[in-house]
Chain A
């Protein structure tokens, strides 16, 4: 390989076709004397050699010829063939290695003609991409070797896992959950498809090591609460964001809340409905509020007789574990109501230091992630003590503000250009890297960018899990007959 050019952070190398096979995301070290330049391969193309068009056209016309023979006394043909197949490797400058440190501030270029180019060792990349910490989570393989990240790099950070469907997002999320729980972390999971319960079982059906550290709660069944526990603010947020209630109606709802509290001594859903029917107000507002409260009542999530407090449920995860909110049986607005309640409650619990910081994993986050009610959490998450991991296949549904604050991004394959454009704008790496690498990623491979890899983008083949992940697509044609 030889250096052809460097333009901004793009480095182009010429390589012969029989060079070692490279994959997108691999790293190359360009060595000149004692200094080394680190570049990441983002694509490979045919080298645009002079006379190539003419040569190819000639080849094309030979295909129509009955016979083609060549008397080539010096075997020039084989040399030409090698030249014609020359490859252009497109790489991105990642820094200069000085005394084992990767530096971006040093202006140095290796010699085009005398520098030595070789594939970087996996140990070098592991070392450079390792963030501080000692709790290693084995993610999979990178450049032919095992690749780990430190659990500490998820702690206090906002993490996004995104990619199109069936690429392995949930699988990676489960792998992170298992890794975090094993190190004693507490995680709250919004489980849209009811898959995370499977982590308690091994593939052979026996109990996994996590079986007693996972708790699945189903809203309306084993997870119910009271409106009083939710509080007026949460109820107003639910009405505003989940049920699109206009401001005038919200003002009336506040009035009704205080009336109920004064008359019944406590606020219940039944009491609110009673007060609403009896209090004098504009009929259309009454109608609007009543229909919404009846709809909330139908969900059976608010139950004044047999409530469970979120504090108690979280308390059960004393030694690390995951509280899985199974939303698979909830209707869309019910799902959003539960999320709204849990987030609001969580924020209060953590603000009051009633519970240690926890991770929050939101599967299919685009289904309930709205501009408003996550903003507070995302903006102040470090102070509150909630560290979200969002999993989505619709990156454009997650607000810009969330991306801008993301510390770690796991990117699986996307082929849609508009998704890639969006990601390129929002992620912590240059647009070209995202577009070229992500577009070509096979299933179960992801590009990791951000603090978790010390801002060295790495392509990782995610390893298998020995527990039931249950995320696989159910198929009709499963048996061959």
Chain B
């Protein structure tokens, strides 16, 4: 790991500090016995987990429907995504790994992929403020499990926002696709950073579109995706005005919230765009520049694919931990050893 610093590309300066802190945190792991996390609980995507609910039907409210504008111009599409995994947990702390991917589709349709990580962190109640800095505010916990979850969430956000910041600064005249939504909670640093990202993007004439797969907006108990209008896709329903009245006050939207159904037969996705967006042009440019798969931009799918941890990644990371003299215990293995000869392999 001595060559760690050399591997970080000059341009991605922020990763140097990121990986250095991660490496430092691992030194305290030596000789530790720690339980491996459940193998079913591999990767999480916390940034999307924001609920907005309102208990009325859409019929009674104002909403606008847009059709993507026909454009000839194509733009470079840049998509970025991150994922994280809790590798092991003990009563003191949690080992978290995070990974990111940036995928660029050029105007000539060629694809470039850059993966960042995986980075490893051992976060405990002593070092979390040092590791997470401003993001440590996110860690409010009442139980050990909350601590694990919030530490994972904070680290993932840290990397994702850093990557977003880096991309909006470096790129010009591009469509930048985020995974998640443009919503901030009461956490001030987070809101300020997101505002900064949106501002720089605008200055560099970048178009930000945030696609969300898992955020939920419920209208009278029904999910956003179940809203249908008598139009043939592609179309975008702007729900911003409607939602303003019913928004949870703890959540601050920094953009316009839309339902985008961009291809026939697709479910439709929640899509956030900056407030001063020309929605028809933005989506017209996206449709011209990036192919869609089930109404979802392919470049963003690739970013998601390359940032996701595979089983093999997990096995390798666990192997690496073992090499660092960390003893991983598998709770279910103990059960197997004790009882499987009697109760058989029923699972």
B 92-130 binary contact with A (CB < 8 Å = 1; else 0): 000000000000001000111111111110000000000
Determine whether the beta carbon of A70 is less than 8 Å from that of B320.
no
> Of A52, A65, A70, A83, which one neighbours B316 at CB under 8 angstroms?
A83
Determine whether the beta carbon of B106 is less than 8 Å from that of A69.
no
Determine whether the beta carbon of A74 is less than 8 Å from that of B320.
yes
**Stretch in B174-182, B235-243, B260-268, B304-312 with 4+ CB within 8 Å of A:** B304-312
Determine whether the beta carbon of B15 is less than 8 Å from that of A71.
yes
B 1-45 binary contact with A (CB < 8 Å = 1; else 0): 101100111001001000100110000000000000000000000
B contact residues around A58 at 8 Å (CB): 305-306, 310
Query: Is A19 close to B, CB under 8 A?
Result: no
| Min CB–CB distance B113 → chain A (angstroms) | 5
Query: Is A66 close to B, CB under 8 A?
Result: yes
Determine whether the beta carbon of B115 is less than 8 Å from that of A70.
yes
Q: A61-B302, A79-B319, A83-B319 are in contact. Are A74 and B4 (CB under 8 A)?
A: yes
Query: Is A133 close to B, CB under 8 A?
Result: no
Bound together, the chains give a CA A74 to CA B113 distance in angstroms of: 19
Determine whether the beta carbon of B317 is less than 8 Å from that of A76.
yes
| Min CB–CB distance B42 → chain A (angstroms) | 10
Query: Is B275 close to A, CB under 8 A?
Result: no
- Nearest neighbor of A53 in chain B, beta-carbon distance: B310
A contact residues around B7 at 8 Å (CB): 71-73, 75
> Of A69, A76, A79, A83, which one neighbours B114 at CB under 8 angstroms?
A69
- Nearest neighbor of B97 in chain A, beta-carbon distance: A76
Bound together, the chains give a CA A61 to CA B1 distance in angstroms of: 29
| Min CB–CB distance A81 → chain B (angstroms) | 9
Q: A73-B22, A73-B119, A79-B316 are in contact. Are A68 and B113 (CB under 8 A)?
A: yes
Bound together, the chains give a CA A431 to CA B139 distance in angstroms of: 62
Chain A interface mostly: mixed
| Min CB–CB distance A76 → chain B (angstroms) | 5
A contact residues around B311 at 8 Å (CB): 49-51, 54
Bound together, the chains give a CA A75 to CA B95 distance in angstroms of: 18
- Nearest neighbor of A65 in chain B, beta-carbon distance: B111
A contact residues around B118 at 8 Å (CB): 72, 74, 76
Determine whether the beta carbon of A68 is less than 8 Å from that of B316.
no
Determine whether the beta carbon of B120 is less than 8 Å from that of A74.
yes
B 312-341 binary contact with A (CB < 8 Å = 1; else 0): 111111011000000000000000000000
Bound together, the chains give a CA A327 to CA B19 distance in angstroms of: 81
> Of A49, A62, A69, A75, which one neighbours B315 at CB under 8 angstroms?
A49
Determine whether the beta carbon of B313 is less than 8 Å from that of A80.
yes
Interface size on A, residues (CB 8 A): 26
A contact residues around B19 at 8 Å (CB): 73
A contact residues around B15 at 8 Å (CB): 71, 73
Query: Is A376 close to B, CB under 8 A?
Result: no
| Min CB–CB distance A479 → chain B (angstroms) | 53
> Of A64, A68, A76, which one neighbours B313 at CB under 8 angstroms?
A76
Bound together, the chains give a CA A83 to CA B117 distance in angstroms of: 18
Query: Is A298 close to B, CB under 8 A?
Result: no
Bound together, the chains give a CA A73 to CA B114 distance in angstroms of: 14
A contact residues around B320 at 8 Å (CB): 74, 76, 79
CB proximity to B under 8 Å, residues A60-111 = 61-62, 64-76, 79-80, 83-84
Determine whether the beta carbon of B316 is less than 8 Å from that of A73.
no
Determine whether the beta carbon of A71 is less than 8 Å from that of B315.
no
B contact residues around A65 at 8 Å (CB): 110-113
CB proximity to A under 8 Å, residues B195-234 = none
Interface size on B, residues (CB 8 A): 36
> Of B115, B310, B316, which one neighbours A71 at CB under 8 angstroms?
B115
B contact residues around A84 at 8 Å (CB): 312
Query: Is A375 close to B, CB under 8 A?
Result: no
Determine whether the beta carbon of B23 is less than 8 Å from that of A66.
no
Q: A69-B114, A71-B12, A71-B114 are in contact. Are A49 and B312 (CB under 8 A)?
A: yes
| Min CB–CB distance A398 → chain B (angstroms) | 45
Q: A62-B113, A64-B111, A65-B113 are in contact. Are A76 and B316 (CB under 8 A)?
A: yes
A-B contact count (CB 8 A): 93
A contact residues around B119 at 8 Å (CB): 73
| Min CB–CB distance B84 → chain A (angstroms) | 15
B contact residues around A274 at 8 Å (CB): none
Q: Which of B116, B118, B310, B315 has the most CB of A within 10 A?
A: B310
Bound together, the chains give a CA A70 to CA B102 distance in angstroms of: 10
B contact residues around A70 at 8 Å (CB): 114-115
Query: Is A55 close to B, CB under 8 A?
Result: yes
Bound together, the chains give a CA A83 to CA B316 distance in angstroms of: 8
Determine whether the beta carbon of A50 is less than 8 Å from that of B312.
yes
Q: Which of B3, B113, B120, B302 has the most CB of A within 10 A?
A: B113
> Of B110, B115, B310, B315, which one neighbours A66 at CB under 8 angstroms?
B110
| Min CB–CB distance B322 → chain A (angstroms) | 11
A contact residues around B9 at 8 Å (CB): 69, 71
- Nearest neighbor of A81 in chain B, beta-carbon distance: B316
A contact residues around B302 at 8 Å (CB): 61
Determine whether the beta carbon of B312 is less than 8 Å from that of A66.
no
B contact residues around A75 at 8 Å (CB): 1, 3, 7
Determine whether the beta carbon of A51 is less than 8 Å from that of B4.
no
Determine whether the beta carbon of B120 is less than 8 Å from that of A83.
no
Determine whether the beta carbon of A80 is less than 8 Å from that of B316.
yes
Bound together, the chains give a CA A438 to CA B15 distance in angstroms of: 55
Determine whether the beta carbon of A83 is less than 8 Å from that of B306.
no
A contact residues around B120 at 8 Å (CB): 74
B contact residues around A69 at 8 Å (CB): 9, 112-115
Bound together, the chains give a CA A80 to CA B4 distance in angstroms of: 17
| Min CB–CB distance B112 → chain A (angstroms) | 4
Q: Which of A61, A69, A71, A75 has the most CB of B within 10 A?
A: A71
| Min CB–CB distance B17 → chain A (angstroms) | 12
| Min CB–CB distance A384 → chain B (angstroms) | 57
Bound together, the chains give a CA A51 to CA B316 distance in angstroms of: 12
Bound together, the chains give a CA A61 to CA B115 distance in angstroms of: 14
Closest 8 CB pairs of A and B: A51-B311, A50-B311, A51-B310, A67-B112, A66-B110, A73-B19, A65-B111, A51-B312
Q: For the A-B complex with A50-B311, A68-B113, A70-B114 known, give 9 more contacts whose Cβ atoms are closer than 8 Å.
A: A49-B311, A58-B305, A61-B302, A64-B111, A71-B117, A73-B1, A73-B15, A74-B4, A83-B319
Chosen A-B contacts, 21 in total, with CB atoms closer than 8 Å, are A58-B310, A65-B110, A67-B112, A67-B114, A69-B113, A69-B115, A70-B114, A71-B7, A73-B1, A73-B22, A74-B1, A74-B4, A74-B118, A75-B3, A75-B7, A76-B118, A76-B313, A79-B316, A79-B320, A80-B312, A80-B313
